[in-house]
Amino acid sequence: MEVIRADGQSTDWNETSATDEEAWEEFIYVSETEGISVFE
C-alpha cells in the first residue's frame, strides 16, 4: 500500500494486503494510533 500526499510525497508499506479493505483498515489504524502527521 502507498499513501501519496497532495505534494507528491509518499509513504508505503513493504507488506502487501490481502484485500483493499485490509489495507484501508491498516491506514485507519495507523492514523488513529500514530496520528495523520505520520504521513507528512
The grid cell for 26 is 491498516
Contact 26, 1 (CB under 8 A): yes
Check whether 19 has a pLDDT greater than 90.
yes
Contact 11, 39 (CB under 8 A): yes
| Residues 12, 9, 11: CA angle, nearest 5 degrees | 15
Over range 12-28, report the average pLDDT. Answer: 87
pLDDT of 4 reads 80
Q: Which residues pair with 10 in a beta bridge?
A: 4
pTM of the model: 0.63
Considering the chain, what percentage of its residues have pLDDT values greater than 90? 15
pLDDT, the chain, mean: 83
Report how far residue 22's alpha carbon sits from residue 1's, in angstroms, rounded to the nearest whole number.
10
pLDDT of 21 reads 94
Over range 7-24, report the average pLDDT. Answer: 86
